[in-house]
Chains A and B, each alone.
Chain A
């Protein structure tokens, strides 16, 4: 028999190792929502009349984000929400996820806009992955998906793009940037996003919620689970960072949050802003070709 909930005294269902709390299902869900609201406020993610594009992939994080923002947005009648979904064209994987995404949006009454890699870049991720390439599939997919999300958000006239990055993602990013010696990226680490010309400001409201807890939230709230993993996921260096951080978190609960907080401390308000435009597509670029044109040029699309 489990111990009573730390907050309300009802039978608890979850023990939170990094805080020692024992929580019933309802209080667990409430603590997640409270944390997301605090994160939004701390990083001033939205205005009262923001038009928010929510990146929805069909996975548990983006579905949790969609549901939470829908609940929060009900208290802000002048703000609006539109879901944007990107179809990378990964056979056997994205189809199931998009079906779940579209169904969830319909149930919440949220408008959906779907854009595909084929629409935007003329190729699917499967076609890109099948070619001779220098980099892992995720290196192409990540860059192209970010561009696609930006295009989708701009096409629905959003002034914010909210994505479902969780605490695990954030801690992995900090660690990866250290492992790669990518100081500019460390300096630009900001879950509240920055105003950059040509980009819809990107915010990450779930950035302080561990992935284990977005998963439990989705389960306790009856959300559908995608079962098929991305076939290209094994290629990413991020997998190494994930495994290491997962093991450290078991040994030393709270590790992921400390790494994330360190990332915030290392970030600089004066991080280099994008100053030029890409000569091929006109998108914002540090200098010369943008990363999308650089990568798609390399695979000879």
Chain B
């Protein structure tokens, strides 16, 4: 990807509906996934449930707000909520980590963070929100390793924190790929829609031209006949003038019909490109 493509990706915005759906899904994942941790530590008296409950509360509030239609028309705010949800999950997981010291079985460290990073890559509603969430989700545990209790630090695999970093990198690649594919899909769909709109507009113009051509032909013939009085019979002038008048009325009627579409035009004043000069040459 060149610099321009990267810039495009940074600026790319998913449709608002997709942004809301992605954030709601992440919040639901938070709300329904955290109880698993509660179950893990249900028999551990020193394990406070408040980190999980706090994270679930954040997920519940975000999910409810989106379900109730809050933040409609504000996709930036919704993308921020995605990050807030991810931050809540990462913070909760960080607070839970020391509880594993009391576990009788060996600890598989940081699984939740790795899963969270991948989920962020798969769901993020925007590049910035996604990348920040991934950074926080893998960055927090990476920073936490030196401060772990000795019993836990001894269980941390030598591949850490690089495994965390690798998951973060993978999540970032997933994010970039997903958004790029989505951007291309949207661009292709917009091009198709524009092409169809142009085709329909052209068909409408051609229908219009068809309606106009017969009165124009009448006007052409009537004009020539009026210019050559010596070539016509007495009394024909009235009939010619009447035909001219009706043809003019037909064109006026078409013009009146077209007035109905004035409101559709861009009020910025852009026109279709025809002007009197070029049309008459």
A, B: real partners: no
A residues near B, CB below 8 A? none
- B interface residues (Cβ-Cβ under 8 A, vs A): none
